[in-house]
Amino acid sequence: MPAKRHNPRRYRSGLEKVVAKFLKDKQKRLRYEDLKIDWKDLRYRTYTPDFVLDNGIIIETKGIFDSEDRRKHVAVREQHPELDIRFVFSNANAKLYKGAKSTYAVWCKKHDFKYAHRVIPEEWLAEEGEPLRTTHIKLEAEKDE
């Protein structure tokens, strides 16, 4: 199957568009939504991160970071500890929910996820790492199933 061609008009948010524009000249290849990661809660699911950097770092951009997203990312981290998933928030200081004292940034620190506010830090781009050469990361089947 031929590789999916990147279409710059198909971003789901303004933040994704800004991040893609930022990465365009800084990466050998702009990888947008071309990686699938299997994970499981009550059933098997697939998570599609927003961007994959040349060094293998996975970037998820978020405007709203609801409880379902937070639960999913904790589960994906538990099931794929080898992956380096990081967040870029449109507002890292936004509250987790109305009336909450905790913010997206505090949640990331608590759960040991790296995060940034609005823009991917240059240091992330410069980090050493192995490129992800796959478009699908499968979940290892459990022996009892």
Return the pLDDT at 43. 85
Tell me if 2 is assigned to some domain: no
Q: State pLDDT tens for residues 3-47.
A: 555 555 688 899 999 999 999 999 999 999 999 999 998 889 999
Number of domains in the chain: 1
What is the span of the domain harbouring residue 71? 14-137
Question: Residue 33: left if φ>0, alpha if ψ -120 to 50, beta else—which one?
Answer: left
Task: Give the whole-angstrom CA distance, residue 21 versus residue 43.
Answer: 36
- pLDDT band at 145; cut points 50, 70, 90: very low
Tell me if 70 is assigned to some domain: yes
Which CATH number covers residue 58? 3.40.91.30
Tell me if 3 is assigned to some domain: no
Query: pTM for this structure?
Result: 0.84
Tell me if 9 is assigned to some domain: no
Q: Are 23 and 50 in contact (CB under 8 A)?
A: no
**Mean pLDDT, rounded, of the chain:** 91
Tell me if 28 is assigned to some domain: yes
Tell me if 85 is assigned to some domain: yes
